[in-house]
Structure 1
Amino acid sequence: MELHEYVRLDGVGLAELIRTRQVTPPEVESVAREALKIADERLNGLTRPSFPNALDAAGDGPFAGVPFLLKDVPIAAGVPFTLGSRAIPDIAAAHDTELMTRFRRAGLVALGITTMCELGLSFATESARYGPTRNPYDPARGVGGSSGGAAALVAAGAVPLAHANDGAGSIRVPASCCGLVGLKPGRGRIPCGPDTGEAAFGLLYEFAVTRSVRDAAHLLDAVHGPAAGDKYLVAPPLRPYAEELDAPHPRLRIALTTDAWSGVPVDPEVAAATARTGRLLERLGHTVEVATPALDWEDVLAGIRGEVVAGVAPLLSAPRQPPPEALEAVSRAAMSEVRAFTALDLLRTFDAHNRVSRAVGTFFADYDLLVTPTLGQLPAPHGTLDYDNPRYSVDSWLRRLFAYGPFTAVFNISGQPAVSLPLGRSASGLPIGVQVVAGSGREDQLIRIAAALEPDFATAADRQGTLDQ
């Protein structure tokens, strides 16, 4: 297999070639390692060189032999992680998470660890430890965060899909910046154990970034479903998600908004791409009208502040706390403020979660889907968000963060599945993601509508900076 052939295939396509013995797993791994080396030199998307030996995986799973990458979090037994921080030494995960067990069972061949922002608290992957990860479309621009290394390397063609997780937009925002499909499953769809019952008070979701909708559908089939002891349970799909790719469309009632709930301005090119998506959906036979959930933005901010507490608190209770001087400025502020957080503060956070969830749930009683921009702006130049700036408190940082990306965090709180789709380009050629949100438990609806819109995605040949150019 040649590099130019490899980079144009999605995971399902590669798996089919392997299954039919047109290529062997060692051949695919060899070209993947070449692709990763080239892409990492250009984009700085790996925390360290590729693993000397791929992690063990089943030889008969639906993605058997397909190259894959893991995020810099504790997920795989014996694999060191740093959470993107120079304050955290390389700590080896004690065991596989349940999701990692399922990745292995699916046959995904993990070859390395991707970069992220420190502690996952930014929409820019440019940590002090690893430096900025560069966008394949424009190296002067960022890739979003926190799953930025994954998005950059998938967009470049180094691997067809990669692990990512999402606490306020960390799958969808990098997907938008890099022209990918970024599915955040709904609450309870993907297990987060065994070490936690609800990651970040239920606001953190695990999955992946992909180049194709069918990879997202087939991967969801491979890894969804509860694990023993899970706190949240959701009804299983009526049929495999992969069957939604060609399923007929009932007429849907779809809401669309380009207005941020916080009132911050939205880039005109981003708004135009979202409006164009509405027209595409109308041509597919759906009813589209301007409407939006009635949200109090201060409740959204309060809810995400609670998630910061959930993310930072384990560091405060660790046997060895990270030295403050090694942390970046916003991380230091978060550590300090979390120490002062009280039980009453936490109850107020949960009250805010409830109000947001009730508002969004009420909205989806009247609509099947909601269409919004993914980001409010085009991919930002490096340094725009400036995480290592001591002027920020947690509150002022979140307001700055969500001035850039105001549309995603709501659905981490409320729990509905949401996906960013690469449905726009700026005049300068930068990707624009459009977010589609479905009602609780309706990942099937998202897969079906994403597949219908996929002919309007950018093709591999349109991508800037891919490895075959």
Structure 2
Amino acid sequence: MSSYEDRDGLALADLVATRKASPRELLDEAVARARAVQPRLNPISQLFPERAEAAIAEGLPHGPFHGVPFLLKEIVPLAGTPTWAGSRLLRNTPPAEQDATLVERYKRAGLAIFGKTTTPEFGMAASTETSLTGITRNPWDPERTSGGSSGGAAVALATRVVPMAHGSDGGGSIRIPASCCGLFGLKPTRARTPSGPLVGEGWGSLAISHVLTRSVRDSAAMLDATHGPAPGDPYCAPPVAGSFLDAVGRPPGRLRVALQTAPFNGRAVDPDCLVGLQDAVRLMEELGHHVEPALPEVDWPELIDSLWVLVATNVRLAVLLANGGKEPAPGIVDTVIQDAVEFARTLPGEACPKATRAIHRHGRRMAAFHEKWDVLMSPTLAKPPVPLGPQHTNNPDLAAYREAVLSFSPFTSPFNMSGQPSMSVPLHWTPTGLPVGVMFSAAFGNEALLLSLAGQLEKARPWVQRKPPLASAA
């Protein structure tokens, strides 16, 4: 289907609505593309087109994405399929008995779900390299990372297997692969989309799900279709006024933009990322926005310690639940996961509430910062996509692994801790053809402002038609 790869999700849904294509034709195209790209880049962990075929035959709901093929990240329950979370420990887990609430909403939107995408073990890495499913490679350069932990989603999207794919973000895991693969990636406000029914929140409130997309409007329309609390949710995001999709076409006005050029942890930023940032600053100024250097008050040592406590304790719980309450035997999980499990076992009882208090303090400081500034702008990553290897979750050199993560992705996690919406926008490519994202973050609850800005940037500097060298040719 010649027009498939050049259309976003809403455009494919329009083909179905106008009877220029059928859901089955779109599904067949997506499955063929998935099978073509899998041997080269490995973005898919499970492929089950027969489930989507059955859903189409039964009749998909007539939502905004009626008939559009879709992939879930390998962390979310889909009834009738196992949830591996990138872990050998879960390889033989029984199929889920019920859908996640978010999956129910995806189905109501009319999506045809036909597979799951790769993720590092328990989503705990900024690169998608793990012992269960192997290495997921970047279509712009297969020797470099696709990012993580939604790396498989990003690769499937960049190679035109699907027009959008589910991802989640607990420390940057939507924005990191979006930057690595030349895509748009929005992390919504804490609790904007549901995490249930099996959990009330992800990673102690750090993690939230949404989609990676090529177009801004797909991200907005999907947020319209999925946002809002479900019965029993412990808390919810601030209410929204109007449609997120409408916000994309609405001028954001003249914004007060704070510029951050160096990360809070003091790591160096690659010149290519700084060139991309400065180019984006010029574009913002041409669009009429006021940009100047300014930083919020951030206690980085306290934040990174708190992040590690919340992630490690939640990962330990996941491992124990998967292992019948027992400590994992040596080698049953990758070294990075084993390290987290052992670290969490040594923590005192007050560690988690202390970490939660710290991220809440950070959120209040960021709220005060955004009373003056509409947006905080920075590189998404400190480096373009890096070579594969050091961030593999089975790296025996844990010190090297930690330094690889901290030097690659030091910008994203503060916004998971504050709960703010934050997006990576694909505004730059290096001279060697690697994508570099620019990150914009707004006040808690203000995704609409980010989507308005993203729509303006997309119009001024279109990126949707840029394709990686290893894009699917199915």
**Per the shorter chain, which TM-score range?**
over 0.9
Contact 1:422 1:457 in 2 (8 A): no
* Aligned counterparts of 2:171 and 2:251: Cα–Cα separation in 1: 32
Contact 2:252 2:449 in 1 (8 A): no
Q: Partner of 2:393 in structure 1?
A: 387
Q: Once the two structures are aligned, what percentage of the paired residues are identical?
A: 38
Contact 2:129 2:391 in 1 (8 A): no
Distance of aligned partners of 1:318 and 1:111 in 2 relative to their CA distance in 1, 3 Å threshold: closer
* Aligned counterparts of 1:64 and 1:271: Cα–Cα separation in 2: 41
Q: Partner of 1:13 in structure 2?
A: 11
Say which SS state the counterpart of residue 5 (structure 1) adopts. coil
Say which SS state the counterpart of residue 441 (structure 2) adopts. strand
Deviations 1:98-123 (A, max 9, x none): 10110000011111110011111111
Match of 1:425 among 422, 429, 444: 429
Q: Partner of 1:133 in structure 2?
A: 136
Q: Partner of 2:441 in structure 1?
A: 437
Segment of structure 1 superposing worse, 90-99 or 162-171: 90-99
1:56 equivalent to 2:55? Answer yes
Say which SS state the counterpart of residue 166 (structure 2) adopts. strand
Say which SS state the counterpart of residue 140 (structure 1) adopts. strand
Say which SS state the counterpart of residue 63 (structure 1) adopts. coil
Q: Partner of 1:230 in structure 2?
A: 233
Q: How does 1:11-410 map to 2 (within 5 A)?
A: 11-54=9-52, 56=55, 58-91=60-93, 92-305=95-308, 306-318=310-322, 320=324, 321=326, 322-392=328-398, 397-410=401-414
* Aligned counterparts of 1:390 and 1:337: Cα–Cα separation in 2: 16
Contact 1:300 1:409 in 2 (8 A): no
Distance of aligned partners of 1:115 and 1:10 in 2 relative to their CA distance in 1, 3 Å threshold: same
Contact 2:390 2:404 in 1 (8 A): no
Shift of 1:294: 1.9
Distance of aligned partners of 1:249 and 1:351 in 2 relative to their CA distance in 1, 3 Å threshold: closer
Contact 1:254 1:371 in 2 (8 A): yes
AA aligned opposite 1:340: T
* Aligned counterparts of 2:236 and 2:445: Cα–Cα separation in 1: 10
* Aligned counterparts of 1:386 and 1:314: Cα–Cα separation in 2: 20
TM-score (norm 1): 0.95
Distance of aligned partners of 1:361 and 1:76 in 2 relative to their CA distance in 1, 3 Å threshold: same
Segment of structure 1 superposing worse, 403-412 or 237-246: 237-246
* Aligned counterparts of 1:254 and 1:148: Cα–Cα separation in 2: 29
TM-score (norm 2): 0.94
Shift of 1:307: 2.2
Distance of aligned partners of 1:194 and 1:331 in 2 relative to their CA distance in 1, 3 Å threshold: same
AA aligned opposite 1:156: T
Q: Which ranges of structure 1 fall in alignment gaps of 5 or more residues?
A: none
Distance of aligned partners of 1:28 and 1:386 in 2 relative to their CA distance in 1, 3 Å threshold: closer
Say which SS state the counterpart of residue 424 (structure 2) adopts. strand
* Aligned counterparts of 1:348 and 1:261: Cα–Cα separation in 2: 21
Distance of aligned partners of 1:386 and 1:73 in 2 relative to their CA distance in 1, 3 Å threshold: closer
1:414 equivalent to 2:418? Answer yes
CA RMSD of aligned residues (A): 1.7
AA aligned opposite 1:236: P
Contact 1:65 1:109 in 2 (8 A): yes
Q: Which ranges of structure 2 fall in alignment gaps of 5 or more residues?
A: none
* Aligned counterparts of 2:252 and 2:441: Cα–Cα separation in 1: 16
AA aligned opposite 2:320: L
Segment of structure 1 superposing worse, 311-320 or 450-459: 311-320
* Aligned counterparts of 1:347 and 1:236: Cα–Cα separation in 2: 27
* Aligned counterparts of 1:119 and 1:461: Cα–Cα separation in 2: 31
AA aligned opposite 1:46: I
* Aligned counterparts of 2:228 and 2:351: Cα–Cα separation in 1: 33
* Aligned counterparts of 1:290 and 1:105: Cα–Cα separation in 2: 44
Shift of 1:283: 1.2
AA aligned opposite 1:129: L
* Aligned counterparts of 1:75 and 1:387: Cα–Cα separation in 2: 23
* Aligned counterparts of 1:430 and 1:400: Cα–Cα separation in 2: 19
* Aligned counterparts of 1:400 and 1:345: Cα–Cα separation in 2: 26
* Aligned counterparts of 1:357 and 1:34: Cα–Cα separation in 2: 45
* Aligned counterparts of 1:33 and 1:175: Cα–Cα separation in 2: 22
Segment of structure 1 superposing worse, 84-93 or 34-43: 84-93
Q: Partner of 2:472 in structure 1?
A: 467
Shift of 1:462: 4.3
Contact 1:376 1:404 in 2 (8 A): yes
Deviations 1:257-315 (A, max 9, x none): 11111010001110111121122111111111111212121122112112221232132
AA aligned opposite 2:80: G
AA aligned opposite 2:55: D
